Amino acid sequence: MANQVMMSDVLLDYVRKVSLREDEVLGRLRAETAGLPGGSVLPVQAEEGQFLEFLVRLTGARQVLEIGTYTGYSTLCLARGLPSEGRVVTCDITAKWPQVGEPYWQEAGVADRIDVRIGEARDVLADLLDEADAGPESFDIVFIDADKTGYPAYYEAVLPLVRGGGLIVLDNTLFFGRVADDAVQDPDTVAVRELNAALHSDDRVDLAMLTTADGVTLLRKR
């Protein structure tokens, strides 16, 4: 049985050549984002965005929730996986970043599937529980990619919103490899490390951590 393959630049280039299907609209959004503050680290990798779209299509999701929009690259990927009547509710703390992505959503023909909420994620999630077209167990997939110190609270807040059998996707769960180094004790790393440990014994969900990108954890609500 082989061990984990180390992902060199050469091997990553190969994977992208034979697997990645980032089109021109996504490519231009990525290029514009790269010139913005945080643009080289905050967006999901292109192959992770493709994976998110794949998950939406695979599960037949119709209602998707995203915590952390930034410029909306992952939002666009999620929306493109939905049927025409599907919806992505995406939330961010500031309006200026989602506004970067809106023209690209329009160009891709999925802007009508995207519902942007601006505000603290905890407040947005609390409001969704009370909405007639949202509410408990209404979302098929939740993607969490926001401030890391908020991850434990976001996870607990989204669990009631996800249907039984639904999927929660957590990004950056390896956090640059820092989670494996106990000497690293900054608040972001500690929050991700502690959530990873808690999820391992959480019998409310089935669990799989993928070593792709910066660590992607898949959770299926039981």
> How far, CA to CA in Å, does 188 sit from each of 4, 136, 162, 191, 194?
26, 29, 25, 5, 10
Arithmetic mean of pLDDT over the chain: 95
Write the pLDDT tens digit of every residue in 20-74: 999 999 999 999 999 999 998 899 999 999 999 999 999 999 999 999 999 999 9
- For 13, the token pair is 């280039």
Domain boundaries, the chain: 9-221
Q: What's the pLDDT band for 180 if we cut at 50, 70, 90?
A: very high
Distance from the first to the final alpha carbon of the chain: 31
Q: What's the pLDDT band for 219 if we cut at 50, 70, 90?
A: very high
Whole-model pTM?
Answer: 0.95
d(CA 82, CA 202) in angstroms, rounded, equals 29
Q: Which CATH number fits domain 9-221: 1.10.1060.10, 3.40.50.300, 3.40.50.720, 3.40.50.150?
A: 3.40.50.150
